[in-house]
Structure 1
Amino acid sequence: MFDLVMPPQHLRTIKLTDGHEITATETELLDPQRTVYRLQIAPDPDRDKLPTTATSVIVKQQKDEWGDEFENEETAYHRLEKLQGEVIPYFYSRGYFNGRPALILSDVDGTSLKDLAVNNIETCEDLLKALLEEAFSKLSEYGAIYRDQKLDNFLLCYDQECGKSKVMVVDLEQVEFPQKVRPWHRQINQEGARSLIEDFRYRRNPGRKSPPLQLWVSGGTVGVPWSAS
């Protein structure tokens, strides 16, 4: 069983698969329930896999008994390479951190929809829904079905280059690329924005009636509404 405690100073080194090593100046565990860290690193003009000016990266370690999901996530990043930096983080490299296989990703400057909702941060829901629809549409263009539709897997960001907001999608462990896309596959992405906005509204106002949850059954029909009670 791997330990989720903060690694000591001498274990703050990312070992890349090509043999290079990067040592973090600071390490932050982003969620006590997950093996995801933000590492502060010094700029290095001699770096190859990472941008030479990068000052932070996200390191996502393989979870216990999640070997298949870990491999699936790396595959998803490669297959969605053209969406990196636009809809999903940049994938820099694979390596090891604190003795565990890890993916090294770009640090996304954004706020999760869960945090926006729970902290009641003023947000235009119509714009947010449109941005979610755009993100799901781009995933669909590349044949990717995104199943892990939770508020904390979607970040609202401001794109400095384009001068507008966008939604970035993280946690690709459960992304699927069906060889034959059936109508119920498409429905998962098409309904994603609507169901997330419903959850967003509920989180902002927990006293309102709980929205029905869609249960997506592999190889079956479109989800049957189910109310958590």
Structure 2
Amino acid sequence: MSLMPYPMRRASISQALIDIPKPYQGEPQRYRLTANQPIPPPRKRMSFWFRTRWVRTLSRPVHRDTVNLLHAEVKPPPLVVRLPLKMLRFLPEAATIWAQKHFPEWFLPSTLIVKCRKRNDPEHVNWLPADHEPPYMSKFDTEIMAYDQLKDLQGIAIPKFLGRTICRGKHAMLLQDVPGAYLSNPDGATLTYNEMRDLLERCYYELAEFSAVQINPSTRNFVLSPNRQRLMTVDLEHIVMDHPDLILLDFDSICAQGGVARTYVGLQRYYRKEGYLEPA
């Protein structure tokens, strides 16, 4: 699938909204990484069943303070399974497609993201009547539904949804490990303010094409591609569907009030003081 070309910035967005927020004026326009970088948390063994496969991984939190979001290195399956999988190369392509569709657990990538249901996100609640409109839906279930409704954007503007399982006694989803850097990390904080804001608008535009909007504008919810040409939305817990008026209003309000763009510039100043970034 190919998305429509990104249009020119809407005339309704004034140049004043593109300027750097006043509290951060005077800061360097562009940064680069220093040799001093934060040490990632250690990896730990983690295993779980995914359909017919016992998946063994080495995992660690994506962010130090998020225990439900894990980056996992998947260990290869046993040799007795790897050999038949290699034999698929000699069969018609249709056979490989059939096997990947019906047995996705044996075609997992070498790295993936495991996102578990949060403790404060119950599947059911007792304080709402059964006939309440709209019906209660947990953030976890909302995110899975969003991935289903945005299938055409998977791998382009949002991660690929690989499946759901039970991990450490909790419901969990397996997601594509998107290459790049989170905007909340030092290696993702090397864009200029205007570069970041342009990429953010393009990201919102791609979701808007499918009547979806990210209403939780956090730097942790966007990954900068290795070529620094696009952002990918990686958290769909707070995606709102089928509200086209909210899409435009939400993006404009984020720009006007600072939002994720203001936070981004604040992170740059913080990382500079911590010694992780320096003026380029």
Do Structure 1 and Structure 2 share a fold, with TM-score over 0.5? yes
Higher CA-based Rg: 2
Superposition CA RMSD, Å: 2.7
TM-score w.r.t. the length of structure 2 is 0.60
Aligned equivalent of 1:56, options 111, 119, 140: 111
Query: Distance in 1 between the 2:234 and 2:44 partners?
Result: 27
1:169-188 matched pairs, under 5 angstroms: 169-178=233-242, 181-182=244-245, 184-188=246-250
Query: Distance in 1 between the 2:43 and 2:268 partners?
Result: 35
Contact 2:189/2:264, CA 8 A, preserved across alignment? no
Paired residue for 1:94? 164
Per-residue CA deviations over 1:32-83 (Å, capped at 9, x if unaligned) read 3330111111345646325836111100000113131000000011111111
Residues matched between the structures, number = 189
Structure 1 residue 142, shift from structure 2 partner: 0.5
Which structure dedicates a bigger proportion of its chain to strand? 1
Contact 1:140/1:189, CA 8 A, preserved across alignment? no
Q: Which amino acid aligns with 2:60?
A: E
Aligned equivalent of 2:197, options 101, 119, 129: 129
Query: Distance in 2 between the 1:81 and 1:69 partners?
Result: 18
Q: Which amino acid aligns with 1:152?
A: R
Seen in structure 2, the aligned counterparts of structure 1 residues 110 and 51 have a Cα distance that, compared at 3 Å, is farther
TM-score w.r.t. the length of structure 1 is 0.72
Percentage of identical aligned residues:
21
Paired residue for 2:47? 13
Answering whether residue 191 of structure 2 is matched by residue 108 of structure 1, we say no
Residue ranges of structure 1 left out of the alignment (5+ in a row): 1-5, 207-229
Query: Distance in 2 between the 1:43 and 1:126 partners?
Result: 43
Contact 1:89/1:107, CA 8 A, preserved across alignment? yes
Seen in structure 2, the aligned counterparts of structure 1 residues 37 and 156 have a Cα distance that, compared at 3 Å, is same
Aligned equivalent of 2:222, options 133, 148, 154: 154
Per-residue CA deviations over 1:181-216 (Å, capped at 9, x if unaligned) read 43x44211344466322221122236xxxxxxxxxx
Query: Distance in 1 between the 2:105 and 2:156 partners?
Result: 17
Query: Distance in 1 between the 2:74 and 2:199 partners?
Result: 31
Paired residue for 2:142? 72
Residue ranges of structure 2 left out of the alignment (5+ in a row): 1-41, 86-99, 124-137, 271-280
Aligned equivalent of 1:165, options 225, 229, 232: 229
Aligned equivalent of 1:199, options 263, 266, 272: 263
Select the structure with the greater relative contact order (CA < 8 A; seq sep ≥ 6). 2
